[in-house]
Amino acid sequence: MGYEIIKAIIILITGLALSFVSFYIYAEKAKTIISSSLKKELAFAPLYVSSIILLTLTYFIIPTDNDFIHTFSPLELFVPLILTGICYAVSLFPQTAKFLDVAIILSASIASIFLPTDFLMFNGYLPLWADRLAIIMLWSIFSCFYYVLNGIDGILPIFNSSYFAMLILLSVFDAAPLLYGMIGLSLFTVNTGFMVVNWFPAKISLSNNSCKIFGFMIGSIIVFCSTENLAPCFAVILTIFVLELLQSLIKKFSLRERYADLETNTICYQAHIKGLTPEQVCFSISKIEIIFIIMGCFQAYLPNAYSLPIVSIILAAWFLERLKNWNEPKQNLKEINQEFMDDLRQNINEIKNKINRE
């Protein structure tokens, strides 16, 4: 056990050093870049380079021949990293950036080939081909829409940290292999450097395309960790993202112009423009994510895969509702229902008016 602690300390120190040094170098080089959009695109480079170096170090100092339900292959780690780099290269050029979503879907399809042949995420419900198709679809959706969490400064690294922190704890409690725990620690340290420079007021921010690529890299960790029966645990921790995405898409489909941008449709962003500072929103998200981290760890030991994910949906919906109406007095059930019906009626009327105008 002592050796594992020493290795964890080495990864922690190395990761923090790599992250801060790489962001410092980027900040110095970015001073010579005139285009603000290019600065945001290149901001992912420190994250990506630091992650590659640290994950390679982690792979070679952590044993990979035990603790696994399925045989671990180094391709499970390095193929997604290489594909992440390819997607990043696609995003850097205006001529190819418009095909980024296609590149991400293709990358998810290629990476899924390296999943264990006897692994089924939806075991007992779908045949192999349908299971793989579902994995590719969920992975692609997570990646292509991950930018919805990028609405305010500091919020994206908060969500990132929760995924990595839960993976670390699952490893500590022997619910995940040691290597995956160390991978979580590696990405947690890199993300810590990002959090420092992205905290309000953000010195460095990611573009929407960079967020998609970051989402693909995080999604690869989630997918391959699911081979160790951890999918329900991540279902718990991803609840806020799922609900934010769904309600943002519903607003966008209402065809109102003010809901055209998904990242400004989120409740986190709406709470901010209603008066909460970015720090207050981030701290609120941190508190609920800590609860979900604990629930996700408990889920690893439950006999079914759906009890705590269902509870997390209810809890997340309640939390987002309270965050959305933070400056309003508490309402009774009748008032909440009346407000919902009024909003629904207004949306229907606006859609009808828009259709009639066209």
Q: Is 174 left (phi over 0), alpha (psi -120 to 50) or beta?
A: left
The answer to whether 264 touches 244, Cβ cutoff 8 Å, is: no
Residue-wise pLDDT for 176-200, tens only, equals: 999 999 999 999 999 999 999 999 9
In 3D, which of 316, 298, 319 has the Cα closest to residue 307?
298
Nearest-angstrom CA–CA distance, 224 and 236: 17
Residue-wise pLDDT for 229-288, tens only, equals: 999 999 999 999 999 999 999 888 876 777 888 999 999 999 999 899 999 999 999 999
DSSP string, 114-154: TS-TT--TTTTTS-HHHHHHHHHHHHHHHHHTGGGG-SSTT
The band of 352, judged by pLDDT with boundaries at 50, 70 and 90, is: low
* Number of other CB atoms surrounding residue 37 within 10 Å: 11
Say how far residue 80 (Cα) sits from the centre of its chain. Answer: 16
Going from the C-alpha of 186 to that of each of 8, 63, 168, 169, 176, the distances in angstroms are 9, 15, 10, 13, 15
The answer to whether 40 touches 211, Cβ cutoff 8 Å, is: no
**Mean pLDDT, the chain, whole residue set:** 89
pLDDT exceeds 70 at position 129: yes
DSSP string, 305-329: SSHHHHHHHHHHHHHHHHHHTTTS-
Residue 141: per-residue pLDDT: 97
In 3D, which of 155, 208, 160 has the Cα closest to residue 188?
160
In 3D, which of 107, 60, 68, 64 has the Cα closest to residue 88?
107
pLDDT exceeds 70 at position 355: no
Q: In this structure, what token pair is assigned to residue 295?
A: 């629930």
Q: Which helix (H) or strand (E) holds 297?
A: helix 278-299
Residue 64: per-residue pLDDT: 75
Residue-wise pLDDT for 147-170, tens only, equals: 999 989 999 999 999 999 999 999
pLDDT exceeds 70 at position 95: yes
Q: pTM for this structure?
A: 0.90
Domain spans, the chain = 2-229
pLDDT exceeds 60 at position 25: yes
Say how far residue 345 (Cα) sits from the centre of its chain. Answer: 34
- Let me know if 238 is exposed, middle or buried by CB neighbors in 10 A (0-12, 13-18, 19+): buried
Angle at 331 between CA 328 and CA 335, to 5 degrees: 120
Residue-wise pLDDT for 329-349, tens only, equals: 666 656 656 766 777 677 677
Nearest-angstrom CA–CA distance, 223 and 220: 5
Q: In this structure, what token pair is assigned to residue 122?
A: 């939806």
pLDDT exceeds 90 at position 296: yes
Going from the C-alpha of 231 to that of each of 119, 183, 271, 277, 349, the distances in angstroms are 12, 17, 30, 33, 41
Q: In this structure, what token pair is assigned to residue 127?
A: 């045949």
